[in-house]
Chain A
Amino acid sequence: MIAKTVSKLNKKSSIPVFQSCCLRTSSLASNEPVANKSQKIKLTELLNQESQAKKDVKMDYVNNAEIKFYDPPYLVREAPFPNYELLNINLKGYDYSVLNTYYKYIEKLCNLLKIEVIEAYAMPSRSYKIKTYQPFSTNLDKEYNLQMYHRIVRVKNLKSTLAPLLFETVQLNLPEGVQLDIHEPTFEEDEFRYVPDIELQEMRQKLSEMTRKPGDSKSNKK
């Protein structure tokens, strides 16, 4: 419900709100407090049985059919408090053992506070080669091979009154050398987890070339 109203305000209205992978969630962006609160007042006035029934249309894209819910309308479907739908807590660091134990600590903390943790996973690490040169020359002075490790804790339906406290606990207990980043999950970030399918990419490229050819030939004639 909340997501639906905020998506009306978002300009990316082409993305259906109930997307199956649920990554591009139009959740309460922290820069839109005004719109959220004023929209809430309108919502309470607009809530009829009809409009509620219309909003419950879900699509099953595999069979191309509508999934209908026959629940009675008095069953509360939404949470009674505003919440952040999906949040990614990103931890990055060069020191593996410290990062690992801190990430486990955050998971335990979320379980204690009864915050729903959907996933707590590791992203592939990025390796860096750092070379320092001797002054005024290109002779190698020192060479370092470092690896930046990355852990993500994904949290669902975080109460907005509890959120600032969680952010603060995580921030205050940060060990030295760990970087913290909390934001909503993006598609590109999630794609980075998976090994790219080379065959699929090649086929896609061929397809785009094929579809481009008739257009090119037309411009040549002109």
Chain B
Amino acid sequence: MLLNKCNIFLCTNARTSGLISSSIKLLSTAVPNSQSKPSGETKLYASVCVERMPVITCDMNDLENRYSNLINEINVRRSLLSNHELRHLRDIERAKKKKDKQDDQELVIETAVDYEDKQLKQFKSFEFANRKTSAEFDKANVEKENKKLLLQNIDYILDKKLILLVSEPNSSVWQLPKVELASEDLSLRKTAERAVQGLSEKFEVDYMGNAPVGVFKSKKESLIEKQYFFKAQYKSGAQHLASSKFDFVWIRKDELKDFIKNKDYLACLNNFILDF
């Protein structure tokens, strides 16, 4: 009965999630023919890649900085005079005329220079919030041993994308949150939603599309495991994640290789996790 259901799910999922068309480079495995029966049991899992999008734009590197400065200079020098600069020129002329005429008319007009000073003063008094960039984070925490505790806080790094990794307590295997396909789920996406709700009820997430983005097939003796990955964006509720059932970290894509030891799994993840 379970095998039959598995087959149906395989057939429909194969057709509906586009696993037949081999042109998709994102899927790392091919679908088995619906005619061939697996020798052992196949287990289907749905896992969700929850990502927190960057909040600030990242800093430019040295080359980009120099180029943008150069282009700005060129643009400023090539451009026509702006209102502010014209006003400044007119003020200078007026000052000259005043000197020549030596009238007693003392009109209190705000000159362009005064206006500029006033605005600069306002600018300097404004306090910018701390830009928590990944470079600063790395510098400050290179020698800390308990880095994992820090990584649990979602607000430490603001300029890069953070991915949620989960592990069972006292096990060193890190993976994306996953859950097995149950008979009451009408679609793979419902399973994926269950996977995230299982972490915490108040953890809110936006799913990007109904179809899975990647597949990972693993074989252990006669047991074939297939994981379908869904993509989701974190919306709110990271404070409620702490629990004793599982351990979690928010990491960047570069640090993925430190946490995930399985090479095939890592290769599969690298296909659909994008980082610019």
Contact = CB atoms under 8 A, between A and B. Distances in A.
Interface in B26-44: 26-27
Interface of B: 8, 11-12, 15-18, 20-21, 24, 26-27, 53-54, 57, 161, 186-190, 207-213, 231, 272, 274-276
Nearest to B13: A37
Q: Which of A40, A161, A171, A173 has the most CB of B within 10 A?
A: A161
A34 B187 contact: yes
19 contacts: A33-B189, A34-B190, A36-B16, A37-B12, A37-B188, A40-B12, A40-B15, A80-B18, A80-B21, A81-B18, A82-B16, A160-B209, A160-B211, A161-B18, A162-B24, A164-B209, A164-B213, A169-B274, A176-B57
Nearest to B272: A165
A96 interface: no
Given A80-B21, A161-B24, A173 B276 contact: yes
A191 interface: no
B24 A159 contact: yes
B142 to A, nearest CB: 27
A30 B186 contact: no
Nearest to A84: B209
A159 B208 CA distance: 13
A210 interface: no
Nearest to B187: A37
A133 interface: no
A159 B18 contact: yes
A163 interface: yes
Contacts of B8: 41
Nearest to A169: B274
A32 to B, nearest CB: 9
Contacts, number: 93
Contacts of B53: 171-172
B29 to A, nearest CB: 13
A161 B211 contact: yes
Nearest to B18: A81
Interface residues of A, number: 27
Contacts of B275: 172
Given A81-B16, A81-B21, A172-B274, A163 B209 contact: yes
Nearest to B214: A161
A30 B187 CA distance: 13
Given A161-B209, A164-B213, A172-B275, 14 more contacts: A30-B210, A33-B210, A37-B16, A38-B186, A44-B15, A159-B211, A160-B211, A164-B208, A164-B211, A165-B231, A169-B274, A172-B53, A172-B54, A172-B276
A171 B27 CA distance: 22
Given A33-B189, A41-B8, A161-B211, A172 B161 contact: yes
Contact of B26 (A82, A162, A167, A173): A162
Q: Which of B12, B26, B211 has the most CB of A within 10 A?
A: B211
A89 interface: no
Contacts of A37: 12, 16, 186-189
Interface string A54-79: 00000000000000000000000000
B97 to A, nearest CB: 28
Contacts of A173: 276
A160 B20 contact: no
Contact of B17 (A28, A161, A169): A161
